[in-house]
Amino acid sequence: MSTLAALLPAVPPVIGWAVHARWLHSRLTTARRDPLTGLWTRDAFTRRARRLLRDPHAVVVLADVDHFKQINDRFGHAAGDVLLATVAARLAHGTTPGGVAGRLGGDEFAAVVVDRDGTMPDRLHTLARVLARPVDTAPDVHTTVSLGWVRAADHPGEDLSALLRRADEAMYAAKRSGRSGPRRARLGRLLGSVAGRRPGRRGAAEVAS
């Protein structure tokens, strides 16, 4: 009989359950992470984002990689994956401390940040410049990232899905303008549709609901 086998009967059951619980928690956490970028998956992001939206200073940000298909076509899908992972890491860093970032799917990301000091416009302009830098390991691989954002306090009573819709509209306005820089969501009612969407693209509200 091995030493380990001899010791196992002496391990109190409560310790065994504790080890199992930690293992299970680790597996669940891993399942909630996007395997490519390490960001929270859609469902995990949604749960955490809704908690942050209880804060009146919460800001919702939507990010979409520009010309991503061209990156894949020119450099290959492996380079595209590296670009997505790089954008995700920079987005996560740019929305800390206290924020949460997730990958909604494809080349689209979202974040919720608590902006207590009112510096979000400056922070997002800085983030846009950082996101446009070349990939560290592949200097030729780079593109801009369109950002749309909305303050939850500007639209009281709206849930995460509605706020993501507003950020989505703002993001596509930024993308259509051709200028690299974040766009704040307009006040007033939500538009019924957003012009200039990619064919077949799922809306942010649909993704997050």
Q: Is 107 a catalytic residue?
A: yes
Q: Are 150 and 166 in contact (CB under 8 A)?
A: yes
Residue 138 DSSP symbol: B
Locus of tokens 């908690």? 51
Choose among 123, 166, 155: nearest CA to 53. 155
Kindly report the number of other CB atoms within 10 A of residue 197's CB atom: 13
Locus of tokens 């920079």? 90
Pick the catalytic residue from 64, 107, 115, 168. Answer: 107
Q: Are 45 and 53 in contact (CB under 8 A)?
A: no
What are the backbone dihedrals phi and psi of residue 138, each rounded to the nearest 5 degrees, phi first?
-145, 85
Alpha-carbon distances, residue 177 vs 11, 153, 166, 182, 191 (angstroms): 65, 26, 17, 11, 18
Residues near 105 by Cβ (< 8 Å), separated by ≥ 6?
42, 202, 207
Query: Which are the catalytic amino acids?
Result: 107
